[in-house]
Structure 1
Amino acid sequence: MLPIYLEMKRCIQNGLRGVLGTIIRTEGSTYQKSGAKCFWSEDGTLTGLLSGGCVEGDFMEHAKEVLKSASCKTISYDFRGGGDDLWGLGLGCNGSIDIFLEPFDSLGDPEKAARSMEICQTALAHEVSIATIVEAPDPVLIGEKWVCEQVPFHQSRAGVYSIPYGEKEALVFSETLTPPPQLVIFGAGPDAVPLIKGAKQLNWQVTVIDHRPAFVNQQHFPEADHLVCVSKGEWPDLQIGSYSFVVIMTHHFEQDALFLKQSLKTAAPYIGVLGPNKRTYQLLDQMNSGLTQEQLSRLHSPIGLDIGSKTPEEIALSILAEITMIYRDKGSGNPLHVMKETSFTKYMEKKVGELAL
């Protein structure tokens, strides 16, 4: 949500209008799922993707119509049963998607634009659930939203739900937005540079903490969002919550011990310690206090997924992949073809058999 928020902010600053597109329903195989968003600005800037880049061109044409009418609109693409050829978009998947388009005009409708910015700001700081009316007997209601901190309609997955509206019904798209990961790196060594660069490519927020002023500065880490210098042996005044992901890599044993001990007291779902297991065992032994099973379940050492990493960039990639898996609370870290091994194996056996004929 952060890139879209920043683009909306740019539109306000430059007096531009735009259109927010949200996938509200999918069936079959699609590149993106319900809740995926993109934002088109009238100067031609497109932020985010709703497909592999296939429907975006057509989406932008509909977005222009939405700006002219100043009203919301739902568009549908069905690529099952030859629909791909019909649309001529080359989507390359066998599914259908419905996209809800909402105008964003800080000049023509400043109240609604301000409301959209407020929702984005809230979602960047806290997990929020949003319900948007996407179809109603009264067209004036389409686009109206409710925001709450609990998932509406007792649904945790994004989707369209029917609610009573007098003697008729209205359709509401319900979704839960979560803040981007907050990567907290203890250690301002050169091996933190590729980790920060990779995290910023993923639109994460990054904080770097170190006790050495000559290391933790803008010159070394121009992409970091926050740089914190603390005295040796001190814990920074820092908020670490359920969307914070900690990596400890100062290469200084006493500092690592302090940061690990204090990090385990936070709600961070991931606390990674760079280095071999033996060193982490020594750090834990330094604590001389009981650790809970819940704390240990959040501790990762060595950190990263096993992809055979050797270079600092490859190590950063493996760490970010593991954090992503924890953040999304999905995935096993296994190759995707292994997850589909049975069907893929049968298909390959069939193809090899055909080649042998």
Structure 2
Amino acid sequence: MAKSASLWQWLANRLTRHRSVMLMIVVESHGSSPGKAGAKMAVTANGECFGTVGGGALESALLKEARSALQEHIFEPRLRRLQHHLTRDGEASGMICGGEQTVLLYPCQQDQSALFRRLANNPKGVLTLSPAGIAFDHTQIVPESCRFTRQGDNDWLYRESVGWSRQAYIIGGGHVSLALSRTLATLDFDIIVIDERDNLDTLTRNMYARQKLKLPYSDIDAAIPEGSQIYVLIMTHSHYADQKIAERLAGKKVAYLGVLGSRKKIVQLKAKLAETLSCDELQRIRGPIGLPIHSHTPEEIAVSIAAELIQISNSANSALGL
């Protein structure tokens, strides 16, 4: 969310000084391609740039093409479908990573700067790009983060949800919570930390969460929304509190619900929860959370949890064909 907002602000600022700026978006990505769907980059004719669509030789070639189009005043959108293997036949990129991706090169004009300033404020809605132009509609909602359809060179549509970023609700404001907030902030999560304790030093030092809420854990179910972009991580100071929170949230339809703790703790917790929850509700609770990388410190644990969230998020996008 923060990265996209910064890109829109950069675009708006550059369009006050330049006739046009090229916006590049990875609209489609499959396999091990370097830039995933939704990745963005913008460049001016003189080479100022912001963001990335994957780096390396691919990005360098696209930047060269984008700058050339701007310098020659060619303002038609174009699509580039790149297959990532070593041969250079057709639209192969020459990269070894495998996979393929489609990148949209979209020239933005000075009269669109107001739209980008609006997007920089992170409103909720749907951004649409097509050969007919670019538009934002705050009345629309789409279930996935982005979607691309193409019938031909002049018959395509890219739609992206704006303002509906992944949200991490971290319940418990201790050391792992602080480390995890720091890590997830670099991955563009919107972070909300909840704790019921007063004057908690680690929560005071948490400068990465957009919201820090103090409320009784008995009221936790009202604070957690449902949705496919909601990730809930339970890591309080009390095993009993973890159990009661998990019990209250097990019926929530969220992308992820997990409890921090050792394997022994999670076995005991689930045994207690089995007395009150259905099998389906019990299966929604993940634990121990984090990929098994033998982590020990709060920072290592944060990396393992973040890796698991990335794995789940990317798997969900792959299932949608994104």
TM-score range, shorter chain: 0.7 to 0.9
CA distance in 1, matches of 2:31, 2:203: 47
* Structure 2 residue 194 is the aligned partner of structure 1 residue 209: yes
Match among 19, 23, 26 for residue 23 of structure 1: 26
Instruction: State the Cα deviation string for residues 152-202 of structure 1 (Å, max 9, x = none).
Output: 9xxx9644224xxxxxx8420445658432111111111222211211121
Q: Secondary structure at the match of 2:150?
A: strand
User: After superposition, what is the alpha-carbon deviation per residue over 1:281-315, rounded to whole angstroms, capped at 9, x for unaligned?
Assistant: 55456668642333222211111122222332222
Which amino acid in structure 2 is aligned with residue 323 of structure 1?
L
The letter for the 2-side match of 1:160 is R
Q: In structure 2, what is the Cα distance between the partners aligned to 1:236 and 1:160?
A: 42
| Partner residue, 2:9 | 9
Q: Is the 8 A contact 1:24 1:34 kept in 2?
A: yes
Q: Residue 283 of structure 2: which of 282, 285, 297 is its match?
A: 297
Pairing partner for 2:53 from 50, 55, 60: 50
Moved more, 283-292 or 222-231: 283-292
Matched, 1:133 2:130: yes
TM superposition shift of 1:277: 4.3
Counterpart of 1:197? 182
Superposition RMSD in Å: 4.1
Q: 2:40 aligns to what?
A: 37
- Does 2:305 match 1:319? yes
The aligned counterpart of 1:345 is none
Change (3 A) 1:109 1:144: closer
> 3-state DSSP class of the match of 1:329?
helix
Distance 1:159 1:81, change over 3 A: farther
User: When the two structures are aligned, how many residues end up with a matched partner?
Assistant: 306
Query: Conserved in 2, the CA contact under 8 Å of 1:131 and 1:172?
Result: no
| DSSP-derived class of the 1:316 partner | helix
Distance 1:228 1:221 in 2: 12
Aligned to 1:329: 315
How far, CA to CA, are the matches of 1:218 and 1:30 in structure 2? Answer: 38
- With over 3 angstroms needed to count, the CA separation of the structure-2 counterparts of 1:113 and 1:194, relative to structure 1, is closer
2:320 maps to which residue?
none
Q: Which has the higher contact order (CA 8 A, sep 6+)?
A: 2
TM-score (norm 2): 0.74
CA contact under 8 A between 1:217 and 1:227: conserved in structure 2?
no
- Higher Cα Rg, which structure: 1
Q: TM-score scaled by structure 1?
A: 0.68
- Please state how far the C-alpha of 1:221 moved relative to its aligned partner: 0.4
In structure 2, the partner of 1:258 is 244
SS in 1 for 2:56: coil
Partner letter of residue 101 of structure 1?
Answer: L
Residue 104 (structure 2) aligns with: 100
